């Protein structure tokens, strides 16, 4: 006898075990996130089997945790061939049960932090509370600081008074060889900041920030490399706007090319940020700053087309949503960079880079060609 879980999916038998009464609610939760019928069927089969296994092993519902999921997957793999998505299905279930308050949130495994990690934590707090830097900058700087400390001191005590100029120069030379120019320059900037912090704390007498080498820039032009106007036109014309994803990608690329938005600004854009009556766009920039920009007619038309004909139904207030389940906003700026990279690849365009920032550089270069000053560009 077939047991109907929701309108589109059923199970071959009545669910059993401690999770049985939550399977219908779980199915509705997956539906609301935009999962396909095929994915729903697979996830519900895994969950139903997990529930039966919990009953057989005597595990009570309030004790269910990630370890039980791992044990079940090992048990199942001995009987049937494992499929891609088995582990994700149980993770989705555990997240649902925890969000519903059915099972307690799992405590993260505790691990004693190394001296390098503790020092980097204090550095992060300094950057946040004293320097007031953006979280993205703090993350970059503290990661480089942790790597530097572990490279020099390992898991031992971080005794910065023992640092010498040769240590600093040697580490930069080794690491910079494996990085592109932008990341290498960021490394040296972060390292100077960290060494100044160490001296500020009194852990160093000598100011070693001055000995951090300058990254050679022989191959780079004085103005950042930018995507050319004809490449932008070719890229936009290559987008298939007959699909929802095409409408989304076209609107995103126009925002990058016409307004010079950063990828993070595109990601954080919300429906309430668009003032259609006055054709204005509110953008969340670095350090949480908000600014208003004119909404050009072609950009507004592209966003409206996506909202009307391409955007999936979702409670999420972000303008641009993922095309695959779970249907929600992009997790970070890398989502927009992925849109750019795949669009360039599909169009067969050999752009200067595969990132989103080249459009901002392209807009700046275009403004320079039309007589704008560097100060005017910096303020835009």
Torsion of CA 311, 317, 319, 321, to 10 degrees: -50
pLDDT digits (tens, 9 = 90+) for 197-219: 988 888 887 778 888 887 765 44
CATH of domain 229-379: 1.10.443.10
Are 115-211 and 229-379 the same fold in CATH?
Answer: no
HSE of 135 in the Cβ direction (CA atoms, 13 Å)? 5
Q: Given a cut of 50, is residue 374 above it in pLDDT?
A: no
Q: How confident is the model at residue 2 (pLDDT cuts 50, 70, 90)?
A: low
| Rounded distance between C-alpha atoms, residue 36 and residue 323, angstroms | 12
Does the pTM of the predicted model rise above 0.85?
Answer: no
Long-range Cβ pairs for the range 68-72 (8 Å, 24+): 69/93, 69/94
Q: How confident is the model at residue 222 (pLDDT cuts 50, 70, 90)?
A: very low
Q: How confident is the model at residue 131 (pLDDT cuts 50, 70, 90)?
A: confident
Kindly state the tokens that stand for 376. Answer: 């005017």
Kindly state the tokens that stand for 353. Answer: 């880079």
End-to-end CA separation in angstroms for the chain: 66
* Average of per-residue pLDDT values in the chain: 83
Q: How confident is the model at residue 251 (pLDDT cuts 50, 70, 90)?
A: very high
Quick one: CATH architecture of 115-211? Orthogonal Bundle (1.10)
Average pLDDT over residues 139-153: 84
Query: What residue segments make up the domains of the chain, in order of their start?
Result: 3-99, 115-211, 229-379
Encode 75-123 in three state secondary structure.
Answer: HHHCCCCCCCCHHHHHHHHHHHHHHCCCCCCCCCCCCCCCHHHHHHHHH
Name which of 326, 325, 274 is nearest 299 in CA terms. Answer: 274
Q: How confident is the model at residue 111 (pLDDT cuts 50, 70, 90)?
A: low
Q: Over pLDDT 90: what percentage of the chain?
A: 32
Q: Given a cut of 60, is residue 375 above it in pLDDT?
A: no
Average pLDDT over residues 72-100: 89
pLDDT digits (tens, 9 = 90+) for 307-366: 999 999 888 999 999 988 889 999 888 889 899 999 999 999 988 777 788 888 777 666
pLDDT digits (tens, 9 = 90+) for 45-85: 999 999 999 999 999 988 899 999 999 999 998 888 888 88
Position 287 scores a pLDDT of 59
Kindly state the tokens that stand for 81. Answer: 């061939």
Kindly state the tokens that stand for 72. Answer: 């079940």
More confident call, 152 vs 287 = 152
Q: Given a cut of 80, is residue 39 above it in pLDDT?
A: yes
């Amino acid at each position: 006898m077939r047991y109907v879980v929701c309108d589109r999916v059923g199970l071959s038998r009545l669910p059993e075990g401690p999770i049985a009464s939550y399977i219908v609610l779980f199915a509705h939760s997956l539906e609301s996130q935009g999962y396909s019928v095929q994915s729903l069927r697979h996830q519900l089969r895994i969950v139903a089997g997990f529930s039966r296994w919990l009953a057989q092993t005597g595990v009570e519902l309030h004790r269910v945790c990630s370890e039980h999921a791992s044990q079940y997957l090992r048990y199942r793999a001995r009987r049937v061939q494992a499929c891609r998505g088995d582990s994700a299905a149980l993770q989705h279930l555990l997240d649902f049960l925890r969000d519903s308050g059915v099972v307690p949130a799992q405590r993260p495994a505790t691990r004693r932090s190394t001296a390098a990690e503790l020092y980097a934590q204090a550095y992060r707090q300094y950057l946040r509370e004293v320097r007031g830097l953006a979280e993205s900058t703090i993350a970059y700087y503290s990661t480089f600081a942790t790597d530097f400390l572990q490279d020099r001191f390992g898991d031992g005590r971080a005794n910065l008074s023992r640092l010498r100029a040769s240590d600093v120069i040697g580490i930069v030379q080794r690491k910079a060889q494996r990085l592109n120019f932008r990341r290498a320059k960021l490394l040296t900037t972060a390292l100077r900041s960290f060494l100044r912090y160490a001296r500020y704390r009194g852990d160093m007498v000598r100011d070693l920030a001055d000995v951090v080498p300058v990254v050679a820039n022989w191959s780079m032009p004085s103005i950042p490399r930018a995507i050319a106007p004809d490449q932008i036109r070719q890229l936009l014309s290559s987008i298939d706007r007959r699909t929802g994803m095409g409408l989304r990608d076209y609107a995103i690329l126009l925002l990058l090319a016409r307004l010079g938005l950063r990828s993070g600004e595109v990601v954080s854009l919300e429906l309430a940020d668009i003032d259609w009556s006055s054709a204005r766009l509110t953008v969340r920039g670095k350090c949480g700053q908000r600014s208003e920009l004119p909404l050009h007619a072609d950009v507004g038309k592209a966003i409206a087309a996506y909202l009307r004909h391409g955007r999936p139904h979702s409670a999420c207030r972000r303008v641009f949503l993922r095309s695959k389940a779970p249907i929600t906003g992009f997790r970070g700026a890398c989502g927009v960079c992925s849109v750019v990279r795949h669009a360039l690849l599909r169009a067969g365009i050999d752009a200067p880079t595969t990132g989103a920032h080249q459009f901002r550089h392209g807009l700046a270069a275009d403004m320079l060609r039309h007589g704008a000053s560097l100060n005017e560009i910096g303020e835009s």
